[in-house]
Amino acid sequence: MFRALNNRKAFASFIGLLLSIVIVVFVAYMVFKVYLAKPSVDQQTQKTLSEQGISTSSPKTILDSTRATLKGIEKQTQQREDSF
């Protein structure tokens, strides 16, 4: 009798564990799907960003090249202010 009860508890625990794993895998899939998706940049915006020297290959490169471009603009502005 106790053996059958232990088997039921073990089976219920196993099902709970499997369900937990499925939920974690699903959440991870959704997060990676959103994180690794290509940026939604239309052609006109991509063209404009490329003209400004901003790479649009991935969200990280967009951010990095935008920062570099802004630093360059700040440097030019500082040089112009210093020349006056």
CA distance 36 to 47: 22
Distances (CA, A) of 61 to 32, 43, 53, 64: 18, 17, 11, 5
The pLDDT of residue 39:
57
Say which residue, 63 or 57, is predicted with more confidence.
63
Could you read off the pLDDT of 4-41 as tens digits, one per residue? 667 888 888 999 999 999 999 999 999 888 777 665 67
Average pLDDT score, the chain: 84
pLDDT at 2 over 80: no
Lowest mean pLDDT among 35-39, 55-59, 74-78: 35-39
